[in-house]
Structure 1
Amino acid sequence: MSLLRRFSPQVQLFTKRSFKSLKFPGESLNEITSPSLIHGIHVFHCPDVVGIVAKLAECIASRGGNILSADVFVPEKKNVFYSRSEFVFDPAKWTRIQMDEDFLKLSKMFDAMRSVVRVPSLDPKYKIAVLASNQDHCLVDLLHVWQDGKLPVQITAIISNHDRGPNTHVMRFLERHRIPYHFLPTTIEDKREEEILNLVRDTDFLVLARYMQVLSGNFLSSYGKDIINIHHGLLPSFKGGNPSKQAFDYGVKLIGATTHFVTEELDTGPIIEQMVFVPMLGDAFNLYYN
């Protein structure tokens, strides 16, 4: 099961069109924010033809739903269409079973390669495992977002090639939430991939939170599902383990982070999301000297 596979093309590709935050005429703000409404997400990938956006909007609107945001990507010189729509709806008026049937009709209409609809408050949560190395910042941020309910997944395990003491912030957090921690020290000769595979077979996808090991092609094919990497730099430039210093030495004035799918080639997988910020003087000092 590969529910996330290749939905987002690389963001540096130019797109023909995009739209955001559509609102249907005649609907008030109270209707959009009504407590009876719940969130849904639809991701679509099909050959590009005229009328897809209109049919997607019509499908949601015809059941009384309202699109909160929608992103469309149509890469230049590629006859493919990608979209991700977030919407609210009343489950009393649009049942979960009916929703699946409606989006299935769209999928058949446009010969879709992939059509996935999720209602986080109703559907089973995705099971994920997180791989991390010595530095805590990516892992801690992910855990805190999860604790706040902004990441609707079930974290089955944290796997690391570095040991963490019992009284550290991370270990106390994991114990409190009963999330298993697996310490698997690695060497150049042995990345412990077979043991990792045994720990993650029941997951829906993996997240690498500053995991400073390169996973082999054999691991990727054996796992067979999506693996997402949090890279502390702006890909496709400055790949590898120290992108911030690379950028600093090159004279780049903006830094940031990239989330992308993992492939056999280091830091080249399709980009999911990026963020950029301008560093202050102290940040620049730390990037260079630490």
Structure 2
Amino acid sequence: MDDTSTTLVQVNGLKVHFAGERSLFRDTPPLRAVDGVDLKIQAGETLGLVGESGCGKSTLGRALMRLEEPVSGSIWFDDKNLSDMNGTELRKMRRDMQMIFQDPLSSLDPRMKVRRIIGEGLAIAGVSRAERDAQVEELIVKVGLRTEHLNRYPHEFSGGQRQRIGIARALATRPRFIVADEPVSALDVSIQSQIINLMKDLQREFGLTYLFIAHDLGVVEYISDRVGVMYLGRIVELADADDLYADPRMPYTQALLSAVPGGAEEGRERIILQGDVPSPRNPPSGCAFRTRCWRAEERCSAERPQLREVKPRHWAACHFAD
């Protein structure tokens, strides 16, 4: 992205914890799904967010939409503090912020026809029926479907078509920012590229800003301007996509990239991580990745590395990132 771009979304010290269970015999610690995230998303860019399952990336995306309530920290959208907004204020803001969900079938009401699904946000916003119908018919064509599809139900479509409907629904209120939570992971590989290219085309046409959450690093590389890597609720590396893929500084990122198909041809040795991901209820002291890291030393257990700029526009949370 251009260094003159304006910040559209900013997150400061964000934490989302889920309470543990209490009983007569023991108390379970809280689950630290997001555990102190600082992040800026520039207007017009796509920020990819990757990491293993359970790292907190989907929870972070939902927290930005205030679908999950943070225990601390702040979320700013276009210089407005979402953390302090009440329900009425949030509903107004959500015209500018929308989500595309992972499973298009479960995210679409099976009792509604497509016309009503796409136009629901416009109806809530008080748009007249005639104007609503006109916008919905325009959108269904924009996402590659036909107007006659508007009179069908979600179960009558393929997975790729349902995701196109979900994208049209997200676009209906003309948002500026979209959180796309694993939007292609439930689709066949041949369909994934079609949806990704559609999202890129729509971004150019509507001036959209994306937070694109995925576990497939190949997909993320293709669509993203910058990429953030999450591990146990924290961002451990953040850089321009080309730079991160060419020169990863965090051992965890190096391991993830070594598993991307074609890595051997690029000279990457396959790194097999040992051990399981620690519990976010009881993360390790110091560096959370140290229990699986081949470079860990005594310092790593005693001192938590901070996310720092190790080269221009490239941040990493590792004592050895230099």
Same fold per TM (> 0.5)? no
With CA pairs under 8 Å and 6+ residues apart, which has the higher RCO, 1 or 2? 2
Whose strand proportion is higher, 1 or 2?
1
Taking structure 2 as the reference length, what is the TM-score of the superposition? 0.28
